[in-house]
Structure formats: C-alpha cells, structure tokens
C-alpha cells in the first residue's frame, strides 16, 4: 500500500530564486530587562525589612534555647550584667521633730480700757495709736484748776494748824515748868495739855486734807497701769468726760497671743502645751517661741478651721511682737530624741500587702539586700525606724531601675543627713 505524504508539504513553496529573510534585532528587549530589574529591586526592599527581624529573632531564640534548662545564669553572663544606679542615704541617730505650718495674727494678751476716775474736761492726750507705752507713763491729763485750789486751801489750813500746835506746845512747856515749881495748880496745867492735844489733832486733820487734795490732783492724770501698746483713742482734748467714758485701749504685750487656724484634717494633731515657733515680717530672721494655750471647742467658718491660740512671752531682746502683726507659725506636733529616720522614698511594699515596710540595704560589695523594718512616726517626707536598721548603714533612697534582692548597684550620690 502506498501512502501519499504530499499533504505534509507546504503549499506554494517559495521560489528557489526568492531572497533569504534577514532578522533584525528587537529594540524592546532591553526595555523589558530594565523593568524586570526594577521589579526585583522593589520586591527586595519590601520583603527584607518585613522578614529580617523574624529571622534574627529566630536565631536569638535558638541561642536562648541553648541555655541550661534549670534557669541558672552562667558566671560569664552575670559579669556582663550592669550595676543599677542608685542614690543612697546613710543612717544616723538624730532628734525627730514634725511640724505643722499655719498662718496667724499677733494679738495682745490683755486689753485694758483706760478711764479717768473723776469727772472733768480733758486737757491733754499724750499718745497716738500704736505707741509703745511703759508702766507709769501719763496717757492723758484732765483740767486741774479745781484740784489745785483744793490743794492750796488744804495746805493753808495745815499751816495754820501747825502754827496753832506750836503755840500750844510752848504754852504747855511753860505750864509744865510752873506746875513742877508748884506755882500753878494741876487743873491749870491740864488745861494747857488739852489745848496742845487739840492743836495736834487739828494738824493731823489738816495734813489728811492735804493728802486728799493731792490725791484728787493725781486723779487728773491718767497713768498706764502696765507696759503695752496703745490701741484706739476714744476721747479728744477739750471733751468733758465721766468715769464711764473710755479714753483709750491699752494692750498688755508682756505676753502676746498668736491666733491661727488649723484645717479639719489636722485637728487630731493639735494638743494643749505643744511647742510653737513663729516668725513675723518685721523680724524675718528671729524665731519667737511659745506654747499652745487654748484650742477652740468648735470648727468655725466656711474654711472649716479650728481656732488655736498660742501664748508667747514677749521678752526677746531682738524684737517686740505687736498686736496686728502677720505671723507664720510652726506647731511641733511630734518630738523624739535620738532616733533613726529615713526618707519615705526608701520604703518598699515588696509583698504587695499595702504596707511599705521594707528597705534595700547596700553592703560593702555594693549589693542591695532586702530588709524588713518596723516603722514609728510617719510623715510625708520622713519615717521613724523603730527596728531593723543601725547607724551608718546605706539604704537605697532612689533607684534608676527596678531592684531585686541581691542586685548589684552603683551609688551615684550619698545623702549623709536628713533635715
């Protein structure tokens, strides 16, 4: 059987004489290569940042997995650990005083109203409000004409009585001599003696009238009964006054009262007899000392404050406190001698029970160790340590990173003593 393979032959074959086709190089090929390069570069920029950390992390985990399963740190790793920077406080024994600040006003311990004891016209006033007065100073003077007339009359009567007494005395002496010689009888002598006694009585009476007149004259002067500071002036020269009219007010400043308010939350810290220190703007560098003398029984005003009064002896040679002065007051609410105290920031609550009762003590190798302490009196800044610390120990007062028992530390500053 014969097969016909003519269908495999190309139809219309090119003539033998046709010229050969010449292929020209394509101009688009370099362009596609450039686009491909840009695509690959962009892909690399997106993939490498995304997966590189995971690859590095995987390698780190692989290294970590090589550590001992019991969690022990090798000496090489411990040597590589950096010390934690801390500030330390060196413990020492000292007196502990907690003060409560307040603002107050100076007042006179006693206010004395000054009045004349007689009626009359005021002739002179010798003070201005705020003047410092000494005991015995003349505050004011009343018109003295009538008192001087009475004194002159009493003196004249006294002089007359003294002359009459002297005459009676001489007559008695003569009669005494005559009686002794028997020249006169006894009744005559007794008469002379009685006349002398009567003259002496009149002299004594006249002297009392003079003393009374002097007293009346003295009442025209208004004296200061104590040393103090003059208050208000309530009368003027030429004014007729009675014994019921107040001439002036005098404040006794041998002692003064510092009156100040304590807010409601601090009331339980205040008690009678607590020591008080205060300053005034007039003498900024001088401390005046006293003690709480009175505590009001109720809270008054919108500010909800308790009025407290401290009494101070006003005998400081460097300055005299005057009524009306503005005062900065510090009340000593707690005092204890020879104790150990630390800053409040040195305490830690390591067992999370709400009680800050632990400290970190630094040993000679600069290693911090946890130690429990027993606390005493506590303030915002300072805490009294009853038990757990000794003198000259270093405790951490501030750490630059979290601490743990046995942590290596580097002391950047040491505080030697609290205020």
Over the stretch 66-92, which tens digit does the pLDDT of each residue have? 444 454 555 444 544 689 999 999 999
Per-residue pLDDT, averaged over 284-309, amounts to: 88
Region label for 130, one of left (φ > 0), alpha (ψ between -120 and 50) or beta (otherwise): left
The region of weakest confidence among 48-57, 204-213, 215-224, 226-235 is: 48-57
Does 303 score more than 80 pLDDT?
no
Per-residue pLDDT, averaged over 46-59, amounts to: 51
Per-residue pLDDT, averaged over 183-208, amounts to: 90
Phi, psi (degrees; rounded to nearest 5) at 379: -120, 180
pLDDT given for residue 81 in this prediction: 64
What is this structure's pTM?
A: 0.54
Sign, Cα dihedral of 343, 348, 353, 357? negative
* Contact call for residues 109 and 257 (beta carbons, < 8 A): yes
* Contact call for residues 279 and 260 (beta carbons, < 8 A): no
Q: At what angle do helices 186-218 and 145-181 cross, to 10 degrees?
A: 160
Per-residue pLDDT, averaged over 234-255, amounts to: 91
Does 46 score more than 80 pLDDT?
no
pLDDT given for residue 59 in this prediction: 45
pLDDT given for residue 63 in this prediction: 44
Does 96 score more than 90 pLDDT?
no
Q: Three-state DSSP class for 326?
A: strand
Does 337 score more than 80 pLDDT?
yes
pLDDT given for residue 319 in this prediction: 85
Burial, 122: exposed, middle or buried (Cβ in 10 Å; 0-12, 13-18, 19+)? Answer: buried
pLDDT given for residue 43 in this prediction: 65
Per-residue pLDDT, averaged over 194-219, amounts to: 93
The Cα-based distances of 7 to 4, 14, 16 in angstroms read 7, 17, 20
Q: What band does 28 get if pLDDT is binned at 50, 70 and 90?
A: low
Does 276 score more than 90 pLDDT?
yes
- Alpha carbons within 13 A on the beta-carbon side of 188: 13
* Contact call for residues 208 and 100 (beta carbons, < 8 A): no
Residue with the larger pLDDT of the pair 216 and 35: 216
Residue with the larger pLDDT of the pair 153 and 24: 153
pLDDT given for residue 62 in this prediction: 42
pLDDT given for residue 232 in this prediction: 86
- Tokens read off for 28: 């688009």
* Contact call for residues 339 and 384 (beta carbons, < 8 A): yes
The region of weakest confidence among 34-48, 221-235, 321-335 is: 34-48
Does 310 score more than 60 pLDDT?
yes
pLDDT given for residue 367 in this prediction: 94
pLDDT given for residue 2 in this prediction: 44
Provide the mean pLDDT of the chain.
Answer: 83
The region of weakest confidence among 149-163, 209-223, 314-328 is: 314-328
Per-residue pLDDT, averaged over 267-289, amounts to: 92
Give the whole-number percent of the chain exceeding pLDDT 90.
52
Residue with the larger pLDDT of the pair 26 and 367: 367
Element (H, E) at 310: strand 305-313
Q: Give the number of other Cβ atoms within 10 Å of residue 241's Cβ.
A: 21
Torsion of CA 261, 262, 263, 265, to 10 degrees: -170
Phi, psi (degrees; rounded to nearest 5) at 15: -65, 150
């Amino acid at each position: 059987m014969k097969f016909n393979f003519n269908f495999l032959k190309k139809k219309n074959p090119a003539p033998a004489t046709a010229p050969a086709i010449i292929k020209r190089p394509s101009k688009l090929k370099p362009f596609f290569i450039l686009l491909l390069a840009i695509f690959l570069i962009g892909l690399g920029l997106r993939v490498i940042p995304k997966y590189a950390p995971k690859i590095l992390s995987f390698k780190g985990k692989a290294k970590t997995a090589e550590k001992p399963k019991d969690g022990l740190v090798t000496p090489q790793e411990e040597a590589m650990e950096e010390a934690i920077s801390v500030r330390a406080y060196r413990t020492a024994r000292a007196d502990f005083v907690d003060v409560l600040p307040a603002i107050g006003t100076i007042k006179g311990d006693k206010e004395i109203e000054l009045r004349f004891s007689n009626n009359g016209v005021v002739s002179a006033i010798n003070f201005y409000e705020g003047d410092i007065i000494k005991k015995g100073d003349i505050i004011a003077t009343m018109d003295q004409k009538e008192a001087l007339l009475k004194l002159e009359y009493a003196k004249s009567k006294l002089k007359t009585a003294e002359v009459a007494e002297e005459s009676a005395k001489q007559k008695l002496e003569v009669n005494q001599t005559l009686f002794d010689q028997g020249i006169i009888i006894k009744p005559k002598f007794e008469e002379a003696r009685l006349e002398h006694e009567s003259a002496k009585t009149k002299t004594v009476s006249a002297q009392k009238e003079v003393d009374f007149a002097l007293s009346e004259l003295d009442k025209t002067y208004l004296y200061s009964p104590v040393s103090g500071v003059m208050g208000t002036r309530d009368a003027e020269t030429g004014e007729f006054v009675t014994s019921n009219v107040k001439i002036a007010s005098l404040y006794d400043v041998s002692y003064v009262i510092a009156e100040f308010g304590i807010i409601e939350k601090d009331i339980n810290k205040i008690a009678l007899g607590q020591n008080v220190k205060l300053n005034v703007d007039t003498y900024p560098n001088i401390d005046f000392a006293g003690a709480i003398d009175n505590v009001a029984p109720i809270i008054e005003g919108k500010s909800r404050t308790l009025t407290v009064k401290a009494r101070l002896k006003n005998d400081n040679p460097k300055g005299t406190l005057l009524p009306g002065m503005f005062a900065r007051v510090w009340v000593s609410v707690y005092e204890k001698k020879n104790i150990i105290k630390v800053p409040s920031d040195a305490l830690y609550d390591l067992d999370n029970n709400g009680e800050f009762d632990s400290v970190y003590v630094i040993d000679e190798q600069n290693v911090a160790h946890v130690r429990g302490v027993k606390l005493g009196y506590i303030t915002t800044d300072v805490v009294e340590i009853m038990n757990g610390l000794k003198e000259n120990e270093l405790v951490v007062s501030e750490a630059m990173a979290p601490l743990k028992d046995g942590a290596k530390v580097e002391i950047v500053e040491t505080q030697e003593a609290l205020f």
